[in-house]
Amino acid sequence: QTTVELSGRTRIITVSNQKGGVGKTTTAVNLAAAMASVGARVLVIDLDPQGNASTALSIPHNADTPSVYDVLIDEFPMADIIQTSPESDLLTCAPSTIHLAGAEIELVSQVAREHRLRTALDDYLEQVEEKPDFVIIDCPPSLGLLTINAFTAAHEVLIPIQCEYYALEGLSQLLGNVRMIQKHLNQGLRVSTIVLTMFDGRTRLAQQVADEVRAHFPKEVLATVIPRSVRVSEAPSFGQTVIAYDGQSAGAVAYREAAVEIIERDSAPAPTEGGA
Ligand code: ADP
Ligand code: MG
């Protein structure tokens, strides 16, 4: 059993990439479960109307379930919607429901529409006794108000990059959006972590993409690479993360190593000013 040193403050990380199918949800839930498996308390916020993160964590999220929709639109307290995953007492989830699909449009006419998640999360973190070490937000693939709410609430952006052709496509747009958020809504936001995922070591292309991303983002890319693995892709159909489904599989081992890297990066000394 790995043990890690936790900082004692809550790190809010949004998992974002404007491309669909790059492994955002898979990375969000498996990293969260891996963090919990080494003793961290983790809250996953499912901001995607598809609710894949809620499903993967085995959290009921039918149309009647109180969800992030109620928090964003009707100002429900976050504590009223959070459920605990059957996998671990340390792993909780604020589920999404299909109603969230309408929130994108309903938010447009709301007061403080970009800050609703942040306000709800701040209130929750102030009141809850056992504060999460990590809040991990799973975003939809578009830059709508849901994603903007995630960017506004977060300290860090984690970008999963699929080691395939066109991997870097859209990345400069994403970085541009982060800069726009920094300028207007959340000065403290930073791209802290890039995770290379669905890596197939048998192809030269995967290696080339990995090398290229590392050359561009030497500090952000995790040393750990997530391999393409059938166990990772089949775990959600059993309502489990790969950590619970097959903890010895290559995917589970990689997500645990990635989790430890992320946790330990934070306790490392802060980079010197002007380094970036
Ligand atoms: P996104 O949330 O960015 O749309 P998903 O996390 O849903 O992407 O992943 C897209 C698809 O790729 C899913 O079918 C998922 O099971 C699969 N997948 C993600 N990561 C891996 C992996 N490491 N190995 C195999 N399949 C993966
Ligand atoms: Mg997803």
CB-ligand 1 contact for 229 (6 Å cutoff): yes
Look at residue 270 and tell me whether its pLDDT is greater than 60: no
1 located within any domain: no
The percent of residues above 70 in pLDDT, for the chain, comes to: 96
Q: Give the separation between CA 258 and CA 58, rounded to whole angstroms.
A: 22
Nearest ligand to the C-alpha atom of residue 237: 1
276 located within any domain: no
User: Where are the strands (E) in the chain, listed by range?
Assistant: 11-15, 42-46, 83-84, 91-94, 134-138, 156-162, 190-197
269 located within any domain: no
30 located within any domain: yes
| CATH number for position 218 | 3.40.50.300
Residue 25, pLDDT score: 98
Among 26, 137, 161, 225, residue to substitute to test ligand 1 (most atoms within 8 Å of Cβ): 26
Q: In a 3-state reduction of DSSP, which class is residue 113?
A: coil
CB-ligand 1 contact for 99 (6 Å cutoff): no
199 located within any domain: yes
C-beta of residue 198 within 8 angstroms of C-beta of residue 231 = no
User: Where are the strands (E) in 25-80, listed by range?
Assistant: 42-46
Q: Which domain holds residue 69?
A: 11-264
209 located within any domain: yes
Residue 99, pLDDT score: 96
Please give the distance, rounded to the nearest whole angstrom, from the Cα atom of residue 264 to the centre of ligand 2.
Answer: 26
Q: Give the separation between CA 269 and CA 159, rounded to whole angstroms.
A: 23
Residue 276, pLDDT score: 40
195 beta partners: 160
Look at residue 274 and tell me whether its pLDDT is greater than 50: no
CA distances from 135 to 14, 153, 169 (A): 8, 10, 27
Q: What is the pLDDT of residues 20-45, one digit of tens each?
A: 899 999 999 999 999 999 999 999 99
Q: Ligand 1: which atom is nearest the Cα of residue 22?
A: 3
Mean pLDDT for the chain overall: 93
Residue 182 pLDDT grade (very low, low, confident, very high; cuts 50, 70, 90): very high
94 beta partners: 45
> What is the pLDDT averaged over residues 225-238?
96
Look at residue 193 and tell me whether its pLDDT is greater than 50: yes
Nearest to 93 by CA among 65, 122, 126, 73: 65
Residue 268 pLDDT grade (very low, low, confident, very high; cuts 50, 70, 90): low
Q: What is the pLDDT of residues 128-169, one digit of tens each?
A: 999 999 999 999 998 999 999 999 999 999 999 998 877 788
Q: What is the pLDDT of residues 172-181, one digit of tens each?
A: 889 999 999 9
Nearest to 49 by CA among 59, 61, 64: 61
271 located within any domain: no
Q: What is the pLDDT of residues 195-229, one digit of tens each?
A: 999 999 899 999 999 999 999 999 999 999 999 99
Torsion of CA 2, 16, 87, 125, to 10 degrees: 90
> What is the pLDDT averaged over residues 254-276?
77
> What is the pLDDT averaged over residues 42-51?
97
CB-ligand 1 contact for 177 (6 Å cutoff): no
270 located within any domain: no
The number of folded domains in the chain is 1
Count the neighbouring beta carbons within 10 Å of the beta carbon of residue 39: 15
Across 3-7, 157-161, 182-186, 220-224, least confident range = 3-7
Complex confidence, ipTM: 0.99
> What is the pLDDT averaged over residues 77-96?
98
Residue 77, pLDDT score: 98
